[in-house]
């Protein structure tokens, strides 16, 4: 027969709530210790049944050296600083264009935020699609390293 209400509701008014003598269900001894005590001895069957991943290592961590970390720069920054970079010797003037190698500046990706007002030749390992459009629209070119 299916029970509509939980059995505990019948037992709520009684002193021991179905635990027999009042001495029997006292304290941590009834639980077998406090917290996770005994998980390798007295509670081992519980661990095996309900918590099989409790011990040992699992999973995989990629070596940090194999993860490529992006250090991006926006084209508006390159456009603004291009004249200063030529003066500092970090960029070269070729005809009307300015050639910038972003790896010399410590970046490895060019993003497309901002406007390009002059032709730039930019060397970088990676470019966003918007950056490519804006650079080529301004009369510049991109060179993938």
| Per-residue pLDDT tens digits for 118-140 | 899 999 999 999 999 999 998 98
Kindly tell me if the per-residue pLDDT of 1 is higher than 80.
Answer: no
- As a residue count, the chain comes to 145
CATH number at residue 128: 3.100.10.10
Domain total for the chain? 1
The torsion defined by the Cα of 110, 111, 115 and 120, in degrees rounded to 10, comes to: 20
Within-domain flag for 23? no
C-alpha dihedral sign at 104, 110, 115, 120? positive
Q: What is the pTM of this model?
A: 0.56
**pLDDT tens sequence across 8-35:** 999 999 999 998 998 988 888 888 888 8
- Terminal Cα-to-Cα distance of the chain (whole angstroms): 75
pLDDT at site 68: 86
Which structural domain range is residue 90 located in? 72-144
139 lies in some domain: yes
Q: Is residue 53 part of a domain?
A: no
Each residue of 94-120: pLDDT tens digit? 888 899 999 988 999 999 999 999 899
> CA 21 to CA 18: how far, in whole Å?
9
The residues, ordered by sequence, that sit 6+ positions from 136 with a Cβ below 8 Å of its Cβ are 142
């Amino acid at each position: 027969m299916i029970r509509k209400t939980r059995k505990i509701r019948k037992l709520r008014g009684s002193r021991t709530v179905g635990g027999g003598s009042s001495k029997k269900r006292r304290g941590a001894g009834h639980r077998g210790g406090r917290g996770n005590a005994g998980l390798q001895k007295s509670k081992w069957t519980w661990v095996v049944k309900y918590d099989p991943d409790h011990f040992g290592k699992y999973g995989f961590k990629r070596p940090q050296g194999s993860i490529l970390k992006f250090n991006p720069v926006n084209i508006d920054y390159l456009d603004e600083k291009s004249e200063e970079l030529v003066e500092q010797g970090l960029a070269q003037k070729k005809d009307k264009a300015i050639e910038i190698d972003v790896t010399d500046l410590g970046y490895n990706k060019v993003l497309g935020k901002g406007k390009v007002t002059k032709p730039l030749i930019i060397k970088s390992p990676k470019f966003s699609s918007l950056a490519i459009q804006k650079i080529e629209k301004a009369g510049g070119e991109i060179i993938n390293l």
